[in-house]
Structure 1
Amino acid sequence: MSEFVRSVPPAAGLDAPRLVLGAQPFDVAANSLRLLTTGPQPLSVDGAALGGGLPRRRIALSELASILMHPSCDHATSDRVWRQLIGRARTDGPAWVVGAVGVALPGLRQAAYRLRGFSGDVQAELLTAFVAALRSVKLGGAKVVQRLLSATFTAARAALRADEPTRTNAPVEPPVAADGHPDFVLARAVAAGVITAAEAKLIGATRLEGVSVADYAQRAGRGYWAVAKERSRAEERLVAAIRSGQLSDEDAAVIAEATTTLTVDRANHG
């Protein structure tokens, strides 16, 4: 994925070789986002203009990724954010394409899990499909990022299946946890006993991957309301653990701030 590295504009005073690390495409994309959001002028959006309970200031894309994955961030706010990210990726150059990829990494990692592997081939196909979907997804309507990730998954799966006769079967490797990746908040919550692995899978699929609760329930052979209540109870425990400091790291701090902001805004405008 050297094209991602080449797309990142130089930042004065930063050690780019140190920041852009990792042999896997997702690692390169994540560290490219870090490069773009480190320094005095990070790639950012205007939270005040976007509204929806977002912090009323410039929000670096690395922070935005954490806010979007939190249960307190509703679909309407996510849609507004993603319409802007997609629009900037289409009109404002390669840095915004890299930025959009970085913000979408939680969903892309979930897609890689569904494709049963975190090999370089799977990651590369997903990134290629995602960049193509950025250009083609319709911005109108609801659930923009879910449609974006669905198109990405479908295209990557088709490409991988077409290439199967020439590829060897590689063992499935779990993602390597790295500090600063918002999708690993769920993994930390499982390790801390806040939620179960099954609950993390449910939250990841329905919040990050774009699977509806109804579809998830149907696949699991369960009732809609049972699944919806399970997710709600698990998310309540996750929010409580973050607020209490049980999950304390830079991502949890970002999420805690977003939760407080969203709660206050909804109280004032409800």
Structure 2
Amino acid sequence: MTAGPQPLSLDCAALGCGLPDEELPLDQVRLLLLRRRTSWVTKDAVWQELVRRAHATPEPWTTVAAAMMMPGLKHIAGKLGSRFCGDRNDLDSEFLEGFLQALDVADARSPKIFGQLYWAAFRRGH
């Protein structure tokens, strides 16, 4: 989705909130989100847009949102995985399911949307 003649992208200029004043491919947006110095206001603006797009056009934007959340899901797996005695694939599926269910009902205008999605995945895995 980030390669080829027409990679998916976000118009960061329209989102504002400290983002570059240009349209960026999703792999570059993801790198921005992973930087510690990127403000939570900026991260929230991107996640609100991802939620809005996932609701409006589920495919491919639900997959995009899950891919963008992957570092967070891996973090959850690191926290809870050592205490899980079953198949790790089952646990990973639960994290993803919790995230996808929360994404489906999330209000795109809600503040701190990343945290809501992250903690829904955490609770489902826990």
Name the residue aligned to 1:76: 41
Identity across the alignment (%): 34
Structure 1 residues 200-246: Cα deviation after superposition (integer angstroms, max 9, x where no partner)? xxxxxxxxxxxxxxxxxxxxxxxxxxxxxxxxxxxxxxxxxxxxxxx
8 A contact 2:2–2:26 mirrored in 1: yes
Name the residue aligned to 1:147: 116
Q: How is 1:187-198 mapped onto 2 (pairs within 5 angstroms)?
A: none
CA–CA distance in structure 2, aligned partners of residues 72 and 84 of structure 1 = 20
1:123 partner amino acid: D
RMSD (Å) for aligned C-alpha atoms:
1.6
| Dislocated runs of 4+, deviation >4 Å | none
Gaps of 5+ in 1: 1-35, 158-270
State the 1:119 CA deviation. 2.2
CA–CA distance in structure 2, aligned partners of residues 149 and 66 of structure 1 = 18
TM-score in terms of structure 2 length: 0.87
CA–CA distance in structure 1, aligned partners of residues 113 and 121 of structure 2 = 12
8 A contact 1:108–1:149 mirrored in 2: yes
Give the SS at the match of 1:45: strand
Give the SS at the match of 2:67: helix
CA–CA distance in structure 1, aligned partners of residues 38 and 124 of structure 2 = 28
8 A contact 1:37–1:60 mirrored in 2: yes
138-147 or 94-103, larger mean C-alpha shift: 138-147
8 A contact 1:50–1:80 mirrored in 2: yes
TM-score in terms of structure 1 length: 0.43
State the 1:93 CA deviation. 2.4
State the 1:138 CA deviation. 3.1
User: Are residue 86 (structure 1) and residue 51 (structure 2) matched?
Assistant: yes
**Larger Cα Rg: Structure 1 or Structure 2?**
1
Name the residue aligned to 1:195: none
CA–CA distance in structure 2, aligned partners of residues 48 and 138 of structure 1 = 22
State the 1:109 CA deviation. 0.6
State the 1:146 CA deviation. 0.9
1:51 partner amino acid: G
8 A contact 2:81–2:88 mirrored in 1: no
Gaps of 5+ in 2: none
CA–CA distance in structure 1, aligned partners of residues 34 and 22 of structure 2 = 19
Give the SS at the match of 2:90: helix
Name the residue aligned to 2:15: 50
